[in-house]
Amino acid sequence: MIDGALPYLRCPVCRQTLDRHDRALRCPRGHSFDMAKQGYADLSAGRLPHTGDSAEMIADRADFLAAGHYSFIAEALTQESRPFTVRPEPALILDAGTGTGDYLAHVLDACPAATGLGLDVSKPALRRAARAHPRAAAVLTDLWRPLPVADAAATVILNVFAPRNGPEFHRVLHPDGVLLVVTPAADHLAELIAAHGLIQVDPDKAARVSEALEEHFEPVASGTHRHPMRLTAAEVRTLVGMTPSARHVPVAALPARDLPVTAAIVLTAYRKRV
């Protein structure tokens, strides 16, 4: 629900606080932002340069996550988040690039006193994220722009396979908070990539992520998590359909066969530089 996140939200135009007026959010200076009927707030403050994942990609992602194949990622995020949310003061868990909101919901289940806020540029994603958890709000915004979030508001920032805006993450993260970044390991989905000629993981991915964040954050822990999957032909199509490869590969034409696939991710915890 958007109401729980209101203390942490800011007007994207003037940075003032926001109040809810029926189906709109307004600041003291009169800037007004619509609430979609599906429950998310549009704080994009103007035309967006891109629209993010399509409805088809989001539907495939929802199906794949519902089957539990990436539950190991949610569990790793929950384990790393928990020490930062067991505190007397209220905690905000900010999911930057929330998608369907599944990871945020999983973390919130383990942190009963925390509020969740999911940010994404995809409207189809936010329609699902707004319903992902009773304590989670969903907001339409571009992660590359200034975030409509108060300074030092977030106790935990989740960033799973999503853009990383180092300066803004630094601004909105509490001094004692943590930024948790999930990126694909070099062998992520290697069997699937080899079998169907999909887009490969950038071999310099880790270095590029570190370079993008090093000015504002320092890594404090990092680990690789691997999970073997035995996917049916339908699940293979669903997995391909939720990735960037869906824009380049005719998913319906993929061979109908089961496939063993390894999911491999790197989870890195960062503390903000002072």
Is 107 within 8 Å of 156 (Cβ atoms)?
A: yes
DSSP run (H or E) holding 128: helix 123-129
CATH of the domain at 258: 3.40.50.150
Is 26 within 8 Å of 10 (Cβ atoms)?
A: no
Amino acid letter, residue 134: P
Residues with Cβ within 8 Å of 184's Cβ and at least 6 positions away in sequence, in order, are: 161, 201, 205, 264, 265, 266
pTM: 0.94
* Residue of 51, 270, 50, 49 lying closest to 169 (CA atoms): 270
Residue 244 has pLDDT above 90, yes or no: no
Question: Residue 245: pLDDT band by 50, 70, 90 thresholds?
Answer: low
Residue 41 has pLDDT above 90, yes or no: yes
Sign of CA dihedral 134, 135, 140, 142: negative
Instruction: For 135-187, write each residue's pLDDT tens digit.
Output: 999 999 999 999 999 999 999 999 999 999 999 999 999 999 999 999 999 99
219 phi and psi, to 5 degrees? -70, 140
- The reported pLDDT for the residue numbered 42 is 96
* Residue ranges making up the domain that contains 120: 2-272
Amino acid letter, residue 199: I
Burial class (CB within 10 angstroms; exposed 0-12, middle 13-18, buried 19+) of 107? buried
Total domains, the chain: 1
DSSP run (H or E) holding 85: helix 71-85
